[in-house]
Amino acid sequence: MFNINTIDRFQQLETPFYYYDMGLLRQTLEACQSASAQYGFHVHYAMKANFNPKVLEAIQSYGFGADCVSGNEVKAAINHKFDRSKVVFAGVGKSDKEINAALDADIFCFNVESVQELIIINDLAKAKNKKANIAIRINPNVDAHTHHYITTGLEENKFGINIWQLNDVAETLRKCPSLQFVGIHFHIGSQITDLEVYRSLCIRINEMQDWFEDHGFQVKVLNTGGGLGVDYHHPDTNNIPDFEGYFKVFKDFLNVKPGQEVHFELGRALVAQCSALISRVLYVKNGLKKHFLVLDAGMTELIRPMLYQAYQKIENLSQNSKFEIQNTEEGSEKPPLITHSPLKYDVVGPICESTDCFQKDVELPESFRGDLFAIRTAGAYGEVMASGYNLRDRVQSVYSE
Ligand code: LLP
C-alpha cells in the first residue's frame, strides 16, 4: 500500500488524513464481482461502511446496488447514480419523512423490521397511490461469533422480527394492499470470519422461505445481508477477502428455487483494506513504566479501537522506510546499519478522554516527534464515524490517484 514515493508525498501533507489506495479498492471490487457473478448473485454495497464520494463513484461504476439505512443514504445513492431498482432501505427506525422520500425515489425494496413499520409504510404508500416492495427482516437467532457490539441476529435484539412473530406478519401483510411482499432479509452481524456461521444462516433461510411459501407468499428475493470479515492483522498479505469461499457457501447450502434472486449487502469486505488513517507523532512521553506516543489523530477520526476494543494494525511509516532504505542499499553485504530496537508504546490520541487510545503496549521501532504513522484497515466504519467532538477539524481524504 505504501512505497517510498507515497511516504515522500505524505511528508508534504498536513495530517491527519485518510489515505485511499484506489487501485486496491478496484481489485477488491473486481474480485467480489467475479465471485458473485458466476452464481448470478446480486450485491448491494452497504453504504454505511463508507460514503466517501470517490469510493461511492468507484463502487457504482462496477454496477453494485446500494444498501441504505437512512433517507440521506438513499439520496446519496441516487445522486451517485446507483440504479434505483437496486437500492434497498433497511433500519429499525425509519421516519415518515425518510419513508416518503424512499417511496418518491421508487427504490427497489424496504427491509422491514417490525409489524408496526409494515402498517406505517402501507399507510404512506397508500397516500401516494403507490405500492411499496417490502422484504421482512427476520431475526434468525444464529450466533455470528463476533464482537457482541456488532452481533445483530440473536433474539432480544432491537433489529428484525422474531420467528414467533411471523403469524402476525402474515396477517398484517394480508391486510395491507399497498405493500408488495417480495422476500425475506437477514443480517446476523459484522466482521464474521468463520464461514460456518453462514452455513447455519443458509439452513435457517431455507426454513423461513418454506414457512412463507406454506402460508401463501411467493418468496422472490432471499437477502442474506452482509457481515463478511476482513483480516485486520495482515492488511498487506491478506488484503482481499475470500469472496470465492463466501459465495460458495451460499451456492452450496441455500435452497434457491427457479426464478428466485439471492441478494447480499456487503460493506466492510469491499472497503476496509483500501484505506489507512495517516497521522503524525506530536509528542513522545516517557512515564515511569510506560511510554506514550501522542498522535495528531484520535477517536474523533477513528473510533473503532475505542468503541469496540477493535484491533487495527499500527505502523511507524517513517522508521520502517528508513530501515528499508538502509538495508536494501545495493551491494551492501554488511549487516543492517539500522536495526529496529523495538519499544513498547501506548499509542494515544489528543482528545480529552482517557479512552482515546488506539492500542496499548504496541511494539514499534523507537519513535520520534514528526514520525508518520499509519493505522491500517480503516476504510470501513472509519471516516464515516468521525465526529466533531472537541471542535476538531473535519478529517481530510487523500487518494492514490
Ligand atoms: N446490512 C445490514 C442490515 C447492516 O446492518 C450492516 C451493518 C450491513 C449490511 C453491512 O455489514 P458489513 O458487511 O459491513 O459487516 N461500526 C461497526 C460495524 C457496524 C455494522 C452495522 N451494520 C464496526 O466498525 O465494526
Q: Are 220 and 183 in contact (CB under 8 A)?
A: yes
Closest residue (by CA) to atom 3 of ligand 1? 187
Neighbour-count burial of 132, counting CB atoms closer than 10 A to its CB (0-12 exposed, 13-18 middle, 19+ buried): buried
- The reported pLDDT for the residue numbered 146 is 67
Separation of alpha carbons 285 and 338, rounded Å: 23
Q: Is 39 helix (H, G, I), strand (E, B) or coil?
A: coil
Closest residue (by CA) to atom 23 of ligand 1? 381
174 and 260 co-located in one domain = yes
189 and 288 co-located in one domain = no
Which ligand 1 atom sits closest to the C-alpha of 269?
A: 13
Q: Is residue 13 part of a domain?
A: no
The CA distances from residue 180 to 127, 206, 347, in Å, are 15, 21, 52
- The reported pLDDT for the residue numbered 33 is 98
Asked if residue 68 has its Cβ within 6 Å of ligand 1, the reply is no
- The reported pLDDT for the residue numbered 37 is 98
Select from 249, 272, 295 the last residue of a domain. Answer: 272
Q: Is residue 236 part of a domain?
A: yes
Which ligand 1 atom sits closest to the C-alpha of 268?
A: 14
Q: How close is the Cα of 218 to the center of ligand 1, in Å? A: 28
- The reported pLDDT for the residue numbered 380 is 98
Asked if residue 266 has its Cβ within 6 Å of ligand 1, the reply is yes
Q: Are 195 and 245 in contact (CB under 8 A)?
A: yes
Of 263, 49, 250, 225, the closest CA to residue 139 belongs to 225
Select from 225, 244, 272 the last residue of a domain. Answer: 272
Task: Take residue 322 and report the three cell numbers written for it.
Answer: 528508513
Asked if residue 160 has its Cβ within 6 Å of ligand 1, the reply is no
Instruction: Count structural domains, the chain.
Output: 2
- The reported pLDDT for the residue numbered 334 is 53
268 and 357 co-located in one domain = no
Q: Where are the beta strands (DSSP E) in 189-250?
A: 221-223
Q: Is residue 5 part of a domain?
A: no
Closest residue (by CA) to atom 16 of ligand 1? 381
Q: Over the chain (401 residues), what is each successive 10-residue block's mean pLDDT?
A: 94 98 98 98 98 98 98 98 98 97 98 97 98 96 71 72 95 98 96 96 97 98 98 98 98 97 98 98 91 98 97 96 71 53 92 97 96 98 97 97 89
Q: How close is the Cα of 94 to the center of ligand 1, in Å? A: 17
For the domain that residue 376 is a member of, what is the CATH number?
A: 2.40.37.10
Which ligand 1 atom sits closest to the C-alpha of 265?
A: 9
- The reported pLDDT for the residue numbered 143 is 75
CB-based contacts of 237, cutoff 8 Å, min separation 6: none
Asked if residue 241 has its Cβ within 6 Å of ligand 1, the reply is no
96 and 222 co-located in one domain = yes
26 and 102 co-located in one domain = yes
- The reported pLDDT for the residue numbered 153 is 57
Q: Is residue 17 part of a domain?
A: no
Which ligand 1 atom sits closest to the C-alpha of 228?
A: 13
Asked if residue 67 has its Cβ within 6 Å of ligand 1, the reply is yes
- The reported pLDDT for the residue numbered 92 is 95
Asked if residue 392 has its Cβ within 6 Å of ligand 1, the reply is no
DSSP string computed for 64-122: -EEEESSHHHHHHHHHTT--GGGEEE--TT--HHHHHHHHHTT-SEEEE--HHHHHHHH
Of 69, 71, 161, the closest CA to residue 118 belongs to 161
315 and 196 co-located in one domain = no
Helices and strands (H, E) in the chain, number of each type:
12, 17
3-state secondary structure 331-346: CCCCCCCCCCCCEEEE
- For the chain, give the longest Cα–Cα distance: 82
151 and 212 co-located in one domain = yes
Which ligand 1 atom sits closest to the C-alpha of 49?
A: 14
Q: How close is the Cα of 46 to the center of ligand 1, in Å? A: 7
Q: Is residue 15 part of a domain?
A: no
Of 289, 291, 295, 292, the closest CA to residue 317 belongs to 295
Q: Are 250 and 198 in contact (CB under 8 A)?
A: yes
303 and 200 co-located in one domain = no
Q: Is residue 110 part of a domain?
A: yes
Asked if residue 191 has its Cβ within 6 Å of ligand 1, the reply is yes
Which residue out of 111, 136, 148, 268 has the highest number of ligand 1 atoms within 8 Å of its CB and is therefore the one to mutate? Answer: 268
Enclosing domain of residue 365: 273-399
For the domain that residue 49 is a member of, what is the CATH number?
A: 3.20.20.10
196 and 299 co-located in one domain = no
Q: How close is the Cα of 281 to the center of ligand 1, in Å? A: 31
Select from 272, 307, 329 the last residue of a domain. Answer: 272
Residue type, 88: V
Burial readout 186-195 (b: 16 or more C-beta within 10 A, e: otherwise)? bbbbbbbbee
- The reported pLDDT for the residue numbered 289 is 83
Separation of alpha carbons 355 and 49, rounded Å: 23
- The reported pLDDT for the residue numbered 144 is 74
239 and 358 co-located in one domain = no
Task: Take residue 81 and report the three cell numbers written for it.
Answer: 447514480
308 and 189 co-located in one domain = no
Q: How close is the Cα of 329 to the center of ligand 1, in Å? A: 45
Q: Is residue 1 part of a domain?
A: no
228 and 99 co-located in one domain = yes
Closest residue (by CA) to atom 19 of ligand 1? 150
